[in-house]
Amino acid sequence: MSAVDPEAWRGTPVAPKGPASGRWDGAMTKAVEAASAVRHLTSPNPWVGCVLIAADGSAYAGATSPPGGLHAERHALASAGASARGATLVTTLEPCDHQGRTPPCTTAIIEAGVRRVVIGVLDPDPKVSGAGEARLRAAGIEVQVGVRAAEVERQLMAYLHQRRTGRPWVVAKLAASVDGRTAAPDGTSQWITSLPARTDAHRLRAWSDAVVVGAGTVRADDPSLTVRHWTPPGGRVWSDGTEPTSVVQPRRVVVGAVPAGARVHPCLQWDGPLNDLVDRLGAEGATQVLVEGGPAVAGAFVRAGLVDSFVVYLAPALFGGDDGAPMLSGPGAQSIEAILRGSIIAVEQLGPDVRIDVAVRESA
């Protein structure tokens, strides 16, 4: 049974009694879990999770379907049925109040007779941007905003950034030895990290709308850049009983010219400024772009000021010299005052390896 199966939560105390400021923290945590299970399917729509808590304490979960399907709030309402009247609806993102590919979620919430709506963060999309909250308040529904906001903000960082700036969140993925080398002097690099780390990297691909590499990486490794090792979480999270077992493959982008027989085809071959590439991908709906390789392309993105965060996989191995390939190539900072600084936001053990997440920019 999936951790986001609404049946698993029915009748469980996900909204513990306590001060009003923390009363809904448990339910919001469950909503975040539900959203995580569909992170790989919903873009360019936000990956939203929702938990509806009925007056008798029963809980019903929902998560956003792929584009064109129901939003998280409507799934939770459908699961709850008549139990939604007088209930509290806890959702990671502000409910929409406009007609898109689906009807407004606010309408469904109001018509269901929900008493209270608890929101993690407001939606900066100009079509929403406080309108959902205002519509609910105008209907006499109690609204609370900001529950576990930092946690939700981080989960939705790519979406929020894209809606605020028009640009996708750019993640540079690097895999290296502990002495900072990505390949041996003879060019060999497979495999520095272990299968658990590589599997996690494929999840990162699945969460991204586009994967960018350089033409040199294509010529050297002939990668396919598809999601393979990672298996999406299953289990029923939608009210129609469907299971999120498929993966939407990311768009493949190569900086430079690609040989005709390369496995990366079909792909976008790019030979213009990287700023323009990021703008184009954002305009086409990409919320997250993953820069995978190699050192030249990663270094170029860093020097252009386009990287928002790094995911670094470190293996317990050493090349033992300075002649291996570095994580980033090209000219770097010329003084200690000029180095790029960020914040380590997560560290995780993956088999023998370690994943380190570094944010160099706050979400805009």
Q: What are phi and psi of 132, to 5 degrees?
A: -65, -45
Task: Scan for tokens 């991204």, then name that residue.
Answer: 208
350/364 Cα distance (integer angstroms)? 30
276 vs 18, higher pLDDT: 276
Rounded to whole angstroms, the Cα distance separating 340 from 135 reads 43
If pLDDT is split at 50, 70 and 90, which confidence band does 21 have? very low
Distance CA 173, CA 45 (A): 23
Q: How far is CA 5 from the centre of its chain?
A: 20
Q: Residue 271 pLDDT > 50, yes or no?
A: yes
Which of 132, 61, 139 is closest to 99 using CA atoms? 132
Which residues are within 8 A (CB) of 364 and not within 5 positions of it... i.e. 6 or more apart?
160, 161, 164, 165
State whether residue 344 is helix, strand or coil. Answer: strand
339-354 pLDDT tens trace: 888 899 999 999 999 9
Residue type present at position 209: D
Residue for token pair 């270094």: 299
Higher pLDDT, 329 or 3: 329
Contact 23/264 with Cβ under 8 angstroms?
A: no
Say if CB 297 and CB 271 are below 8 A apart: no
- Enclosing H/E stretch for 29: helix 25-36
Q: Give the mean pLDDT of 166-178.
A: 94
Q: What is the pTM of this model?
A: 0.85
Q: What is the 3-state secondary structure (H, E, C) of 205-257?
A: HHCCCEEEEEHHHHHHHCCCCCCCCCCCCCCCCCCCCCCCCCCCCCEEEEECC
Active-site choice (7, 33, 73, 362): 73
Per DSSP bridges, beta strands 343-350 and 169-177 are unpaired
How does residue 15 score in pLDDT terms, banded at 50, 70 and 90? very low
Alpha-carbon gap, residue 3 to 235, rounded angstroms: 8
Q: Is 11 a residue whose pLDDT tops 90? A: no
Say if residues 348 and 360 touch (Cβ distance below 8 Å): no
Asked whether the beta carbons of 168 and 162 are under 8 A apart, the reply is: yes
Q: Cα(first)–Cα(last) distance of the chain, in Å?
A: 37
Per-residue pLDDT band for 362 (boundaries 50, 70, 90) equals low
Sign for the pseudo-dihedral over CA of 103, 105, 106, 107:
positive
Question: Is 142 designated active site?
Answer: no
Stretch 131-136: mean pLDDT: 92
Query: What is residue 168's three-state secondary structure?
Result: coil
The pLDDT score that the predictor gives to residue 68 is 83
Considering only 78-82, 98-102, 237-241, 339-343, which range has the smallest mean pLDDT? 237-241
Q: What is the dihedral of CA 237, 240, 244, 249, to 10 degrees?
A: -130
pLDDT, residue 7, reads 36
| DSSP-assigned beta bridge partners for residue 358 | 310, 344
**Residue 236 to residues 3, 45, 49, 208, 243, Cα–Cα distance (Å):** 9, 20, 13, 23, 5
